[in-house]
Structure 1
């Protein structure tokens, strides 16, 4: 599913499902997305890299 690049520190699946309408268009009205429900129950399966901080 093409879309914007995931920013550092964000889960790629969570980001795409939150910002790309195509992720949920196959669902009926008021139907839950199985991938999102699994994320809510089990947490994010990705090791998310944090953005490097710059020190002056």
Structure 2
């Protein structure tokens, strides 16, 4: 089952890879290049967070 869409402020790629097991099902540990890239270099996607309106 595909993961739900990423909530505001979350990287869509990180969210999908963390919540959709089918992405990594065919891979052995340490073979997912996007995940390895994020572990080494951090998340390349800057997603703006929703503004807070409680002030």
Scaled by the length of structure 2, what TM-score is found?
0.79
Give the total of aligned pairs: 53
Aligned residue in 2 for 1:42 = 41
Distance 1:8 1:25 in 2: 27
Aligned residue in 1 for 2:9 = 9
Alpha-carbon RMSD: 1.4
Structure 1 stretches of 4+ with a deviation exceeding 4 A read none
Q: Gaps spanning 5+ residues in structure 2: where?
A: none
Distance 2:37 2:18 in 1: 15
